Copies of this chain bind each other. A is one copy, B any other.
Amino acid sequence: MKRSIAELVTELRRFAKARDWDQFHSPKNLAAALSVEAGEVLEHFQWLTEQQSRELPARKRKEIALELADVLLYLLRLSDQLDIDLLDAASRKIKINAKKYPAHRARGSAKKYTEL
């Protein structure tokens, strides 16, 4: 059954509590775990061309889906431990980015990406 973000957060809380894992889930440790999991995602792509990465076979995408899930789960757990509302922060960040890279100026030049 597919859960919402709020439901995932609650379930992760319960999951850690039932296993007495809160002692390991300091923000510092969770930040390390988040980085480790992001590295495991990248491992799948490191030797591919960009084109190959756009045409992954279904089997490979299925594997990667579970790695992306790991990143999300640690991200939610870390946000929860820091008492941060992640969806709210993401909404604010999008707004900040919209101001920083106005569409009419970013288009074409794409300076963010092409400046060497």
* Cα(A14)–Cα(B54), bound, Å: 19
- Against B, the Cβ 8 Å flags (1 = close, 0 = not) of A102-114 are 0100111010111
Asked if B87 and A5 make an inter-chain contact with CB atoms under 8 angstroms apart, the answer reads: yes
Inter-chain CA distance A56–B40, complex, in Å, is 24
A50 contacts B28, C-beta separation under 8 Å: yes
Q: Contact size class for A?
A: 35 or more
B-facing residues in A4-34 (Cβ within 8 Å): 4-5, 8, 11-12, 15, 18-21, 24, 26-29, 31-34
Interface residues of A (CB under 8 A from B): 1-5, 8, 11-12, 15, 18-21, 24, 26-29, 31-54, 56-57, 60-61, 64-66, 68-73, 75, 78-79, 81-94, 96-98, 101, 103, 106-108, 110, 112-114, 116
